[in-house]
Amino acid sequence: MKGWSAMAQTIDGALKVAAKKCGIEVDAYLAMRESGLKHCWKCKQWKAINDFSLDRSRFDGYAAGCKPCTRVQHKKERKLSRPSIRHGNRASEAVRQAIKKGVLQRPEERSCTECGNSARHYHHHLGYSDEHLLDVVPMCVGCHQKVHWDG
């Protein structure tokens, strides 16, 4: 565990970095924060502290981006990287039924195509259209998440 002086140095460093990113001096940054404002890294505006979600991992206890910017970002990410729920559910059900009928092996009986570890899921690498419902490759949880989120 860090001592108090080390924690104070970490907080001082974090304040200096935050002020520099805003383009102002540390004293001006602290004055803005004491008046109940926080700088959003996304829209570059000073907003009321209650416009930010809690994030206990950050030095000040609040998220770096304001709630409206975070909402917009999450919406874009979902739209770009996630399949529609209806198509994904239909494809997952087709795979479940194929496993049940013995057409496909259970994914746990196969190795991940990315890393070679034991697979846990099947990934629809060609998409969720009707003609590709059973065109799947086995993947471990980590690799499957990486494909969908980094995709």
In this structure, the answer to whether residues 14 and 51 fall within a common structural domain is yes
Q: Which helix (H) or strand (E) holds 56?
A: none
Q: So what's the pLDDT on residue 6?
A: 52
Residues 86 and 72 in one domain: no
Q: Are residues 45 and 103 in the same domain?
A: no
Q: 28, 43, 76 — which closes off a domain?
A: 76
50 and 105 share one domain: no
Question: Do 8 and 67 fall into the same domain?
Answer: yes
Instruction: Let me know whether 9 and 70 are in one domain.
Output: yes
Q: Return all residues near 30 (Cβ < 8 A) that are at least 6 apart.
A: 15
pLDDT score for 28:
93
The backbone torsions φ and ψ at residue 150, rounded to the nearest 5 degrees and listed phi first, read -95, -20
Quote the pTM value.
Answer: 0.46
Q: What is the DSSP letter of 12?
A: H
Instruction: Please check whether residues 119 and 87 belong to one and the same domain.
Output: yes
Last residue of a domain, one of 36, 54, 76: 76
**What is the residue-level pLDDT of the chain in tens, covering all 151 positions?**
444 455 455 668 888 888 998 899 989 999 998 999 999 999 999 999 999 999 999 888 999 999 999 998 887 776 655 555 667 788 888 999 999 999 999 999 999 999 999 999 899 888 888 888 899 999 999 998 888 776 5
Domain count across the chain: 2
Distances 7 to 3, 10, 59, 67, 116 between C-alpha atoms, Å: 6, 5, 10, 28, 42
Say if residue 90 is in the same domain as residue 31. Answer: no
- Res 84: pLDDT: 59
Last residue of one domain, picked from the residues 18, 52, 76: 76
Domain shared by 8 and 71, yes or no: yes
Domain with 137 in it: 82-150
- pLDDT (0 to 100) of residue 75: 79
DSSP string, 70-103: HHHHHHHHHHHH---HHHHHHHHHHHHHHHHHTS
Q: What is the pLDDT of residue 119?
A: 92
Q: What is residue 135's predicted lDDT score, i.e. its pLDDT? A: 92
Encode 46-73: b = buried (16+ Cβ within 10 Å), e = exposed: bbeeebbeeeeeeeeebbbbbeebbeee
Same domain? For 66 and 90 the reply is: no
Strand duo 46-48 + 37-39: pairing: antiparallel
